[in-house]
């Protein structure tokens, strides 16, 4: 069964380059949305089985930290692996509590290969008993 990674990014070029890179990880497929509200709907849909999220910090309607917090407050997603992409050089892993702290933050411009390396590691950790 494939693992689903949701990419929430309002820049189409960044989203598509992330998707292309992430889908090189065996058994992983991506779902892209520029809208954090649509992303939340993916997580609350009946039978959703999402393995990780990669999100931009600055999004319309909800920032990346708030999005992670909302998703991790949902039943079954408390430990969801989350990676944040941002151009904001002041965003840090120390921002906020564990509920909305991403597992990793990458600054734009970033290496899609490095994002994949970290994501693959997080997905392996998630599947351990």
Range of the domain at 31: 3-126
Of the candidate ranges 5-14, 84-93, 99-108, 111-120, the one whose mean pLDDT is the lowest: 84-93
pLDDT tier at 129 (50, 70, 90 boundaries)? low
Tally of domains within the chain: 1
pLDDT tier at 2 (50, 70, 90 boundaries)? confident
C-alpha angle 36/37/41, rounded to 5°? 115
Assess whether pLDDT exceeds 60 at residue 122.
yes
pTM: 0.92
Name 112's Cβ contacts closer than 8 Å, sequence gap at least 6. Answer: 17, 18, 20, 21, 22
Which residue would you say has higher pLDDT here, 100 or 39? 39
Q: What percent of the chain has pLDDT over 70?
A: 89
**pLDDT at site 125:** 85
- Our measurement of the distance from residue 94's CA atom to the centroid of its chain's CA atoms, rounded to an integer in Å, reads 17
Contact, 77 vs 71, CB < 8 A? yes
Query: What is the CATH classification number for the domain harbouring 24?
Result: 3.40.50.2300
- Segment 64-76 shows an average pLDDT of 93
**pLDDT at site 95:** 56
């Amino acid at each position: 069964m494939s693992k689903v990674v949701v990419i929430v990014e309002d820049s189409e070029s960044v989203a598509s380059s992330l998707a292309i890179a992430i889908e090189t990880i065996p058994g992983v497929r991506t779902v892209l949305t520029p809208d954090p509200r649509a992303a939340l709907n993916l997580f609350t849909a009946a039978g959703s089985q999402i393995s990780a999220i990669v999100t931009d910090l600055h999004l319309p309607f909800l920032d990346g930290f708030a999005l992670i917090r909302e998703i991790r407050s949902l039943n079954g997603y408390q430990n969801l692996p989350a990676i944040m992409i941002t151009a904001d050089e002041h965003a840090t892993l120390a921002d906020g509590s564990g509920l909305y702290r991403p597992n990793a933050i990458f600054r734009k411009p970033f290496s899609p290969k490095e994002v994949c390396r970290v994501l693959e590691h997080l997905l392996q950790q998630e599947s351990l008993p």
